[in-house]
Structure 1
Amino acid sequence: MRPAIRLAAALACLLGLLGAAVPAARAQEALDAAQVKKLALEAILENPEIIVQAIDILRAREAEAQTAQAQAALAANREALFADANAPEIGNPEGDVTIVEFFDYNCPYCRRAAPEVAEVLESDGNIRLVYREWPILSQDSLDAARVALAVREQGRYGAFHDALMSLPRATGETALNLAQEMGYDMERLKADMERGEIAAHIARSRQLAQALGFTGTPSFVVGNQLVPGFVQADQLREIVATARANAAKESGAQD
């Protein structure tokens, strides 16, 4: 929210609170602008906590609006998130919970999250993980993502993803070197890097992330839950459990 709009909204909240602070008899008087300012200043001086209350109300309203907007975007983009044939996936293709992860190979928090996510998938065989390559940090990230998506055409995307995520720095060059070490057909790989589906995946990831209000990586979608930022394995298990419980409630309501 722009500063001028935020200030106006805060003042509106403040004036609403001032109604309780200004004596009723005086509030009923016909007041000109100067009198209103004077009464407002008196009320603030007598009740300085009103300012904090107004800011808290404004923040709560903004949070509610952002949540509603994100949930609407999630509903509108559910098919693109959970059923995009142009997105790599691992885990159980028939899993009852799908996790969608937005990531960048050069994001340190993505690297920290990778073993946490892997631990949850290993301990729970009923999860499907969809990867959204979202290279936002640098040209190196974009080049590495293009290699990874091209690798998918030859299989073993998950293994390549893990290996690339473990490198100190992911670039187009280091990604290609890794692919060669892992035995991929390099001539085919370089040709596949130019395919329109790869650019389309990256562009779609950016559009989805922006629609959902994500501002950085990693970010996750689990059922109806939006989870921005790094998560530990135990936290992710709780989020998955909530997704299962919500799905069960929705299924029961439809029966």
Structure 2
Amino acid sequence: MSKRSVVLVVSLFAIIGFAVAAFFYDRASTDPQAEVPVPKASSLVRFHSPSFGPADAPVTIVEFFDPSCESCRAFYPIVKQMMAKHPSDVRLVLRYVRLHKGSEEAIRILETARKQGVFVPVLEAVLESQGQWHDDATASAAWTAAGQAGLDVDKAREQMMSADITATVEKDAADATAVGVSKTPTFFVNGKPLTNFGAQPLYDLIRGEIDQSR
């Protein structure tokens, strides 16, 4: 396949991914008329939050994220691609939101994966299998996928109700409420809310913050 063909194929998948994300984003909203206010920085980035990219990156994306959310799943490769374009300039901080029956169970799976050092493969496996456990309170298929991705499931089930994981779940829920998050994914870039949802508006906001930092 020629280089031009590869670019066209990648672009096509990005467009399809965005279209799916935009569709489910509207469905995930609990208050379609709500506007996200500009939050205090302390409500966005917490020391306990999963973070990807350089700690000293000039641009920080904060994503309020529900592992049960179809739009979050569709946006995952889009955000990953954006970060790959600017590896030294951007970091991503994930904050958890619980909007579905299986959300909290999946969040606890991810946090045990972080304790075991297998967060990324488990995250990707849980998202890939989302259709099999979405709105299942026990998220049984997510557990199966996580185990196949390298999670020690028996150990994880012992860890999942630990005080620190519970504190993370509750703090993220409180911060999401404090900043007015009513749908997922909700993005902030250097504290600025993404008011026009979409892949291109998000990239434009990131690119603008990178340019300002130079």
TM-score interval for Structure 1 and Structure 2 normalised by the shorter chain: 0.7 to 0.9
> Could you tell me how far apart the structure 2 residues matched to 1:159 and 1:229 are?
30
> Could you tell me how far apart the structure 2 residues matched to 1:199 and 1:149 are?
10
Question: Which whole-Å deviations, capped at 9, do the CAs of 1:158-197 have from their partners, x for residues lacking one?
Answer: 2221221122234531222122212322232112101112
Alpha carbons 2:96, 2:169 under 8 Å: kept: yes
- Percent identical: 25
Q: Given the alignment, which residue of 85, 89, 99 partners 1:136? A: 99
Alpha carbons 1:97, 1:243 under 8 Å: kept: yes
> Could you tell me how far apart the structure 2 residues matched to 1:231 and 1:136 are?
20
Question: Which whole-Å deviations, capped at 9, do the CAs of 1:23-78 have from their partners, x for residues lacking one?
Answer: xxxxxxxxxxxxxxxxxxxxxxxxxxxxxxxxxxxxxxxx9xx67xx23xx22xx1
Alpha carbons 2:118, 2:151 under 8 Å: kept: no
Q: Secondary structure at the match of 1:94?
A: coil
Q: Secondary structure at the match of 1:169?
A: helix
Q: Given the alignment, which residue of 148, 155, 160 partners 2:117? A: 155
**2:164 is aligned with what amino acid?**
E
TM-score (norm 2): 0.73
Aligned-pair distance for 1:91? 2.3
**2:58 is aligned with what amino acid?**
D
Show the counterpart of 2:42.
79
Question: Which whole-Å deviations, capped at 9, do the CAs of 1:179-227 have from their partners, x for residues lacking one?
Answer: 2212322232112101112122121222112211221111011113112
Q: For the structure 1 residues 110 and 144, does the alpha-carbon distance in structure 2 shift closer, same or farther, using more than 3 Å as the test? A: same
Q: Which has the higher contact order (CA 8 A, sep 6+)?
A: 2
Aligned-pair distance for 1:246? 5.3
Q: Given the alignment, which residue of 168, 176, 179 partners 2:146? A: 179
> Could you tell me how far apart the structure 2 residues matched to 1:203 and 1:85 are?
14
Q: For the structure 1 residues 229 and 238, does the alpha-carbon distance in structure 2 shift closer, same or farther, using more than 3 Å as the test? A: closer
Alpha carbons 1:95, 1:127 under 8 Å: kept: yes
Q: For the structure 1 residues 99 and 178, does the alpha-carbon distance in structure 2 shift closer, same or farther, using more than 3 Å as the test? A: same
Q: For the structure 1 residues 92 and 114, does the alpha-carbon distance in structure 2 shift closer, same or farther, using more than 3 Å as the test? A: same
Alpha carbons 1:98, 1:130 under 8 Å: kept: yes
The answer to whether structure 1 residue 215 and structure 2 residue 177 are counterparts is: no
**1:151 is aligned with what amino acid?**
A
Show the counterpart of 2:164.
197
**2:55 is aligned with what amino acid?**
P
Show the counterpart of 1:127.
90
The answer to whether structure 1 residue 166 and structure 2 residue 128 are counterparts is: yes
Give aligned pairs, total.
Answer: 175
Show the counterpart of 2:201.
235
Q: Displaced runs of 4+ in structure 1, greater than 3 A?
A: 244-248
**1:104 is aligned with what amino acid?**
D
> Could you tell me how far apart the structure 2 residues matched to 1:215 and 1:164 are?
23
Aligned-pair distance for 1:92? 2.5
> Could you tell me how far apart the structure 1 residues matched to 2:195 and 2:142 are?
26
Q: For the structure 1 residues 240 and 110, does the alpha-carbon distance in structure 2 shift closer, same or farther, using more than 3 Å as the test? A: same
Q: For the structure 1 residues 133 and 89, does the alpha-carbon distance in structure 2 shift closer, same or farther, using more than 3 Å as the test? A: same
Gaps of 5+ in 1: 1-62, 249-255
Q: Which has the larger radius of gyration?
A: 1
Q: Secondary structure at the match of 1:189?
A: helix
Question: Could you say which structure has the higher helix fraction?
Answer: 1
